[in-house]
Structure 1
């Protein structure tokens, strides 16, 4: 059985953020993710996770206004200070995976370079490993995030080769935008993948609303025995609960009948 988690930055946005934990649990999810918990005291998030019996799958290290700092030239000290904050939250939230976002260079506010990126990632992987935390990176399409440094797999490949302990978030939607073959990217990088995210194309809505072959994606992950989480990082086409029918086929069972009978087909 595949394990799907809610993404509270994308799903249940009909509700105030702190109410989304309950909504996710009532919809049948056992885990959540979202990029930044730092707007709230860690105890607030921790209490919600415990109350609703949810696991925190992953979140990002502090990223400032530039969508990350890992590749940011001359900002190593800021990046490293952020790691200490991330570790504090991870320990208090029971989370063992942290996303190290590279940063964007679309404005003059930030410059990026490969040597800085590799140096910072080496430092972060060792620092976080000492705390029992796995470091993650993700290739994010420039079409969705203009100026993002880690925008293709040609940039990711040498970094992953150089740092064997570094894990990969594989977002099938971003991989499709970057390579034209999300399933192919999933197969090619399977050995390094620590987390999967899904959204259909076009539109970045629920699987089954577009043209990506999610029946093949999920069948492949099931066949290879993938035991990690699959994050639902999509923009609901309709109200979140009404669009969750596609999950029934893959083993996520609602707790309270909130899920609509309107099911997307593959």
Structure 2
């Protein structure tokens, strides 16, 4: 991992561990020395019972872990969905669940995917994202984040410009995953924005392969140094596939 280790503040517990129970995912992060963690939506429904959420909270507390960010429910991810906002509003019950998890853990940053329905975001998608952002902000000062993704031709947010277009219209924050950005724009594309972009949250993995820093060719340590020098003070989360 080299010099990159000094920049990491948290670890995503979910990527590449879909076959594990939530406690096993948290254990894996704890074994790697990460008391600050991030999760993809860990429940099978957008509106889990309080008992299910309490079980997650108990697992975090047992291990002394802080939840720093969470993916909002995004439909059937295994079936290829990347959000539901192209079809319908986010269920109010899901916003209630995010509120509950904030009250129990303090988490206030949520990755909200817009839905895979074409390269251009529709006015309805943007408006529905704005509704989520407005509700999170009003309820507890939460932030809905927009993440440029790679590997999906029909997803509307693939560049920082795409994300900033949504944010400029309805608010929210940029989730900067430098792996996705590098895949979509190349190293030069990241170089062009890293000194001036103002992310809400940052994730890293190396490329090619989406492995740990040092397994690919990206200058991740240099990019993180430049982000910090430019004033970014938030989390830098490892979101790479287990070796």
Q: TM-score range by the shorter chain?
A: 0.7 to 0.9
What 5-or-longer segments of structure 1 have no aligned partner? Answer: 239-266
Does residue 237 of structure 2 align to residue 231 of structure 1? yes
Query: Partner of 2:106 in structure 1?
Result: 94
| Distance in 1 separating the partners of 2:98 and 2:120 | 22
Query: Partner of 2:64 in structure 1?
Result: 53
TM-score, length basis structure 2: 0.81
Q: Which has the higher contact order (CA 8 A, sep 6+)?
A: 1
| Distance in 2 separating the partners of 1:115 and 1:195 | 25
Pair 1:146–1:89, CA change in 2 (3 A): farther
RMSD: 2.5
The answer to whether the Cα contact below 8 Å between 1:200 and 1:206 also exists between their aligned partners in 2 is: yes
Return the match for 2:143 from 123, 134, 153.
Answer: 134
Pair 1:233–1:3, CA change in 2 (3 A): closer
SS of 1:57's equivalent in the other structure is strand
What 5-or-longer segments of structure 2 have no aligned partner? Answer: 1-5
The structure with the largest alpha-carbon Rg is 1
Q: CA deviation at 1:211?
A: 1.1
Q: CA deviation at 1:161?
A: 1.9
1:55-74 residue CA offsets vs partner (Å, 9 max, x unmatched): 1111122211222123x14x
Query: Partner of 1:8 in structure 2?
Result: 13
Any residues of structure 2 matched to 1:86-235 within 5 Å, and which?
86-105=98-117, 113-132=121-140, 133-141=142-150, 143=151, 145-163=152-170, 165-180=171-186, 181-189=189-197, 191=198, 193-235=199-241
Does residue 32 of structure 2 align to residue 27 of structure 1? yes
| Distance in 2 separating the partners of 1:58 and 1:27 | 18
TM-score, length basis structure 1: 0.75
| Distance in 2 separating the partners of 1:89 and 1:112 | 32
Any residues of structure 2 matched to 1:244-263 within 5 Å, and which?
none
The answer to whether the Cα contact below 8 Å between 1:175 and 1:185 also exists between their aligned partners in 2 is: no
The answer to whether the Cα contact below 8 Å between 1:2 and 1:226 also exists between their aligned partners in 2 is: no
